[in-house]
Amino acid sequence: MSADTPPTVETDETTDAALRERIEELEDELADVKDEVGGQKKMTIIATKGTLDMAYPPLILASTAAAFGWNVVVFHTFWGLDILHERKSKNLKLSAVGNPSMPMPNAMAALPGMDSLATKMMAKKFEKNGTATIEELIDVSLETGVELQACQMTMDLMEYDESEFYDGVVSGVGAATALEHMAEADIQLLV
């Protein structure tokens, strides 16, 4: 074809299709580069409560995010350390007092034995529903790469020994280390 000859329609359609295909390839490559440069998503969860109902959210969120390939750290401090404690995590109680979702008035929830009763009721619901135990969620979290951290200051304060925690728990983590991960995290949660 000479410079004076106009391109045919067929050539224009072929060229347009080839250009569209090349643009799609370049967009895919650009997305891959952005993923490499941006790295994987990061999430930090701070677990501060050691009741049965407050042990589930950080472990479920952490293991789910890790299953999506995220870099996840759960920093356990104060009563949240009970979640990581092998013996105590098997006996976490549900607090009936001040829990607006409990099917009883607060005055009744304050009676002795109500926390145990509420815990037994919830345990039956978990069993009936096939809900994972805290121990199972810890195992899944660790298997999927979640870093479960135990706060050093709280360990000292409550006289916990790292041998009391599940295997795989990173003990003796300071607030500065936790803050470092939080500063880099895409998502920070306080539970």
pLDDT of residue 41: 93
Whether the per-residue pLDDT at 54 is higher than 60: the answer is yes
Q: Which of 16-20, 62-66, 141-145, 185-189 has the lowest mean pLDDT?
A: 16-20
- What are φ and ψ of residue 69, in 5° steps? 90, 10
d(C-alpha 22, C-alpha 110), whole Å: 69
Spatial neighbors of 3 by CB under 8 A, at least 6 apart, are none
- What are φ and ψ of residue 149, in 5° steps? -110, 145
Q: Comparing C-alpha atoms, which of 41, 58, 49, 32 is closest to residue 140?
A: 58
Compute the half-sphere exposure of residue 39: CA atoms within 13 Å on the CB side of its CA: 8
Whether the per-residue pLDDT at 10 is higher than 70: the answer is no
Q: Give me the CATH code for the 40-190 domain, please.
A: 3.40.1260.10
51 three-class SS: coil
C-alpha 166: how far from its chain's center? 17
Band (pLDDT 50/70/90 cuts) for residue 121 is confident
Instruction: Report DSSP state, residue 29.
Output: H
pTM of the complete model: 0.74
Sign of CA dihedral 173, 175, 176, 182: positive
| Segment 28-55 mean pLDDT | 80
Q: Which residue has the higher pLDDT, 183 or 107?
A: 183
Q: Comparing C-alpha atoms, which of 121, 75, 46, 126 is closest to residue 135?
A: 126
